A and B are shown apart, each in its own frame.
Chain A
Amino acid sequence: MINTINILNLLLPLLYTATFAAYAWDFLKEKLLFQNSKRIFLLTTIIIHIFYLFIRTFEFNHPPITSKFEIFSVLAFSIALSYFILELLTDIRGTGAFIILIAIFFQVVSSLFISHSYSVPEVLRNRMLGLHVISALLGYSGFAISAVYGLLFLKLYKNIKTNKFGLFFNRLPNLEILEQLSYYAFVIGFILLTVAIIIGFIWLPQAFPNFRYTDPKLVSTFFIWVLYGIGILSKILANWYGKKVVIFSITGFGLVILSLVLTSILSHSFHSFY
């Protein structure tokens, strides 16, 4: 089993890179070579990644969330899966390269540094924690995808405004679609983060004796949640359009990263495991 895990650990970055190459080729060239097969590349990669995460869980007897590098692999997987679902729902296939690039980054870092020679605290073996972390990671993946679509929106917006009718103009979907994709990813991210927060509120006080509601990580996560909630309400109630929506999404994601970095580095929390 360990050998299989090691092989898959090496194989996954290659599979993500091959998937990225198929999507990038399709984006750059106007040939139809990978128009359909790139989705099969992605599906295969996702299936193998699921298998990898499962056998890790069974072999080490804990969900794959006990180290930063396990988390990175789950993050790569959740980004790829979220994109795949979004592509299936919308049938917009031209933007995969930009999203899968993020998945490659996380999987490569994970594959390079992941190990299993550390002792795992008992609390990290809990299934509720697995659910809590995976839903949070899927939520953050949604925010990341939303931000990428936001950046693509801004790129196309600028290109149209400045009459640059090149590759991005020809190959990206139109502005309204990019805004919708950004918004949908935003909403999905918000829902999953809500699930993570609910599980956390129910389970964390029972699991950690030193639990406190004023913990910096909890406060910052709640702040992010409120912020994205305001974004959704503004879109629905105040009819926010285009640029305003995507700038909100990009700013929101910037704050997510900032809060994760600050709470990990600067504060000591019962919520820090790694």
Chain B
Amino acid sequence: MNITGISLNHKTAPIEVREALHLNREEIADFIPRLREAFLEEGFVISTCNRTEIFGFLKNDSIDLNPIISALINFKPVEGIKPEHFKKYFSCGALRHIYNVASGIDSLVIGDSQILGQVKESFELAEEMNFTGSLIKKFFDSAIRVGKRAIRETGIGEGAVSISYAAVQVVDKIFANLSKKSALIIGAGETGELAAIHLKDKGVGKIAIANRTIERAEKLAEKLHSEIVPFQFLKEQLHNFDIIISATSAPNTIISRQDIAAAVKKRKGSPLCIVDIAMPRDIDPEVKNIDNVFYNDIDSLKIIVDQNMQRRVNQIPEVEKIIMEEMVSFIGWYNTLEVIPTIKSVRDFFESIRTDELEKIKHKISDEDYAKLDDMTRRMIGRILHNPTIKLRSLAESGTNYQDTANYSLILKELFDIDNKNKDNNSKD
């Protein structure tokens, strides 16, 4: 199997190099023709902020991947990049690596669900550029299957592994029907926006944004189809919300214990979930001592993130089982490719004998008899070749008796003198 791969990722290179080497869609589209021209029959290029990888089937039998690495470095020169930053993969190693990538176990954040989509996009681009064939398609399909099975059959992608998503997990543990809940996001920065998006994805019924600069609040509110709470009226509005997520860059606390106590009183004890993901904190942490107030800050949410991360790490052996199953399946399929030409040649040989003999009697019998004979001989040849075909195919699929497979193929060709006959036929053509 001459599939190969090169990879520069978070395990092999520092972040500056990874970021600088990142190829956007246009750059990949520019680079693919160079790969096709000099190195690969077919392949695809994955590039994210954490990894740049090239997979493909080599044009020749050379196993030197340094020219591909040099070509990439020349294509996008990056300060400090060295060939040692690349890891090279061959045959089963390449197969295993793409499976590791697709399943998320090779990601910086174990179980990262985005990588599967990124692998798909890379392949789609390669397809658009006519850089894919049946082999790489099968290779890609099996990688996607591994990724999907890992998500479906294991817990590799479960649990929050970011602070903003951990906040949503806490919210989820307090409230049942989020569509009837309302959330207030204080701070329209990147963190606040991410938290708001997660809440919206979870189906929170109403989201409102409060920000010191009203324009930023309006921008985010428009994006999320949410309401705006004027910052100056923030404290008077707190009781209207079941969830408060604060992520401003204010230097001091902006909401005191008294503010929350007053809000809880107005809410008649209805639970209030407060998540303070600002640094320094926006809300007086003393609010956690108020009954029916659930207060979480970055430190407490990090406990959830760490636990979930550990749980994902514990799932790696389960994912590896899936990877092994899919590797066996892919290699089995690949090995059958070796015997398919032999099987085809033998079948063609028998078919040519059959048609020759039929031709000889075609004018001596009626059309009806000819049709019967044609059908009967076809079935006869099919039955004669059934067992050898199955045997050869299963030997190849098992992948363990490579020598046996080669011997059987050779014997068949020798016995029926197939190679010579093919050459004769070709020369006649």
Contact = CB atoms under 8 A, between A and B. Distances in A.
A47 interface: no
A156 B172 CA distance: 13
A156 B173 contact: yes
Interface string B262-296: 00000011110000000000000000100110101
Contacts of B170: 160
Contacts of B288: 161
A175 B175 CA distance: 6
Nearest to A163: B300
B177 interface: yes
Interface in B225-259: none
Given A161-B288, A165-B307, A241-B292, A175 B173 contact: yes
Contacts of A169: 173
Nearest to B270: A241
Nearest to A169: B173
Q: Is the interface of A mostly helix, strand, loop or mixed?
A: helix
Contacts of B270: 239, 241-242
A11 interface: no
Nearest to A239: B268
B177 A163 contact: no
Contacts of A173: 176
Contacts of A160: 170, 173-174, 294
Contact of B296 (A163, A176, A240): A163
B155 A176 contact: no
Interface string A240-260: 111110000000000000000
B174 A161 contact: no
Contacts of A244: 269
A239 B288 CA distance: 23
A176 B176 CA distance: 5
Q: Which range holds the interface residue count of chain A? A: 10 to 19
A173 B155 CA distance: 18
B300 to A, nearest CB: 4
B38 interface: no
A160 B175 CA distance: 12
A154 to B, nearest CB: 12
A241 B242 CA distance: 13
Interface residues on B, range: 20 to 34
B303 interface: yes
Contacts of A269: none
Kindly name the residue among B170, B175, B271 whose own CB sees the greatest number of chain A CB atoms within 10 A. B271
A243 B176 contact: no
B199 interface: no
B304 A165 contact: yes
A114 interface: no
Interface string B7-32: 00000000000000000000000000
Interface string A172-184: 0111110010000
A30 interface: yes
A211 B61 CA distance: 102
A174 B175 contact: yes
B268 A174 contact: no
B268 A175 contact: no
Contacts of A241: 268-271, 292
Contacts of B268: 239, 241
Given A163-B303, A165-B307, A242 B269 contact: yes
Nearest to B158: A30
Contacts of A239: 268, 270
Nearest to B304: A165
A243 B272 CA distance: 13
A103 to B, nearest CB: 26
Interface string B167-184: 000101111110000000
A175 B300 contact: no
Contacts of B177: 176
8 contacts: A30-B311, A160-B170, A163-B300, A165-B307, A174-B176, A175-B173, A177-B176, A239-B268
Interface of B: 155, 170, 172-177, 268-271, 288, 291-292, 294, 296, 300, 303-304, 307, 311
Given A156-B173, A180-B176, 7 more contacts: A163-B296, A163-B303, A165-B303, A174-B173, A175-B174, A177-B176, A242-B292
Sort A-B residue pairs by CB-CB distance and give the 7 closest, nearest first: A176-B176, A163-B300, A177-B176, A174-B173, A241-B270, A165-B304, A175-B174
